[in-house]
Structure 1
Amino acid sequence: MPSHYCRASSTKLYLEPVVQSKSKLYQLYCEKCNEQQEVPLSRWVFDQIFIENNLSIFLPKKDQCDMCCSHSVGNISEGEYREHILKKNRVRQEKNQDKLRADNKEVHVFTHDLQSVQLCPKLEASAIYYKTKLCVHNFTTYNLGNKDVQCYWFDECTAGLVSSVYTSCIIDCLKKTLAKEVLPIILYSDSCTAQNRNVVLSNALLELAMDCNIQITQKILEKGHTQMEIDSSHSAIECQIKSRDIYLPSQYGFLSKEARPKQPYNVHFLSYDFFHDYSKYLMYDSIRPGRVANDPVVTNIRVLLYEPVGLIKYKLNFDDEYLRIIAQET
């Protein structure tokens, strides 16, 4: 399995959580060799091959901030750390204010994220460990105003993990919400560029803002401190599927509906025709604030505003004034 939370910074492949130690893995290997009437390698040779293939047992934790960990061991100055904490507190304050506005029915506020990859089939039997499995994904949105949750389940045969896939799920959720009540929209997410800060999603949100004559705002949480309400939904789903045998990808969806009995999640089983290629028609070719060296780049953006007149504006800090993105129109 690739690491879900460290794809950009780690090249390791992580073994399924079924195996908790190298000793257990070696035991399974020996049992497999005995079944095939082969002589197993020694433990030393087994460990060397394990290292050469860049494998690891334990999955990296998602709730540790690189900046905070570096500061705790003295690799980050006190000034940089204080600035980091101020940014974290500022975006939290912004989110709390928007949540109050959502409670007052002034805006629609969403958080959204992709759940960690699930495998199918998922069984406790050791023999299944060596079988090829499907990667199953769940892109989830959470409405802070009414606690409505949309789960979009699909497997790797249906779609890949590209910008248009996430965009299709987000646009579908927003259109369903706007069909009931037209209000300005605010989206909160982590800083993953493939999911949230890219030209494909920005053009799709701009088109939706123009079609519905509303403002749509994207706000990015501070890296390392991206805890959101949607995490509670993912946690509830993972508790529901824990120690359960999964034979079909659709079972993940059925179990998701049972994860919150009082207000069940809305579960969608996606087929290939659900997804649209939003990269074909772009009004803006880039959302980078600058075009030359030393200018701000996409990862510096903290807020994106899509106006119904067809403009995209941005902020590098929450307390800055909005600036217009100057991009070549296509």
Structure 2
Amino acid sequence: MLATTLEDIRRITFREMPDPVIQHPTDAIVKVIASCICGSDLWPYRGDNGPVAQPRTIGHECLGEIVEVGPEVRDFRVGDTVVVPFDHCDNTCAHCLAGNQQACVNYDMTTSGQGELSRVAQADGSLVRIEKPAASELPDLLALSDVFPTGYHAAYSAGVTRGSTAVVVGDGAVGLLGVLSAKILGAERIIAMSRHESRQKLARTFGATDIVAARGEEGEAAVLDMTEGIGADAVLECVGTGAAMVTAFNVVRPGATVGFVGVPHGVELPVGTMFKKNARLAGGLAPVRRHLPDLLPLVLDGTVNPGLVFDSTLPMSQSAEGYRQMDEREAIKVFLTPGA
């Protein structure tokens, strides 16, 4: 198959790689019909995860059409169109039943979502069947594979409730969909921390009532001023840096929760602030399969349009250009279509 491949730091190619094969009887192979680049893909692309030991496929967000199933797959057939959660699970183990599908004892992850084919472990527990979508529906449905449930997980973990005030730290695709998720959960006031005009505009479209363009102490002071010195009832940390985490705890009100979903890089928790405030930290890797039953109907009936985060579309063969666009913040999130 042809697949987007990370060859070295800041070097992406689209070339032939071995086709994925059925490794376990619970596996399925899907033909990718829509894909995208995730902000977390930029960490290995930039070298923040260390050197690239050998070329590997990259990409973990996709929609697919099943082309092969293992002998123990009961609920899906060849030809089914499916949402592929990036974190695969059996959905029956003790962790899954407790709502922690991201910690499934049979956990696996999509590894060639930006290629022609991808293997899904634990197909019955992971996949969600959908009707064959029109081209115009693909962006909203694709967002369900990771970025929308991840933004939702930040809001859910932070304890956003009806009538509350929420602050979203980070204006990437996850942060923007955190804004949308806070709106879904009923937040009355949503403060988006964003320095970029195009992202501020989309944040308002998704439900942000206020924008804070400053960062660091200046931004924190602005949020506290807006909340009469009290702080926010819930804070969504959607970046994954130490500075973002410090800001999140500096603006959360005492006794409240920071929901974090940004992949941590160089983060040291501000334990002193947490201790003084009795502030909590919750979240982490999103259990996508847990949240899909709540989010899929909202997409299917047009209540929400998470696909608006895609502001650049390229053929998969030009994925290297997509990485450049996102790395240089020319694009929020790049949608990839199959082929050349």
Give the TM-score, by structure 1 length: 0.30
Give the TM-score, by structure 2 length: 0.29
The structure that is strand-richer by fraction is 2
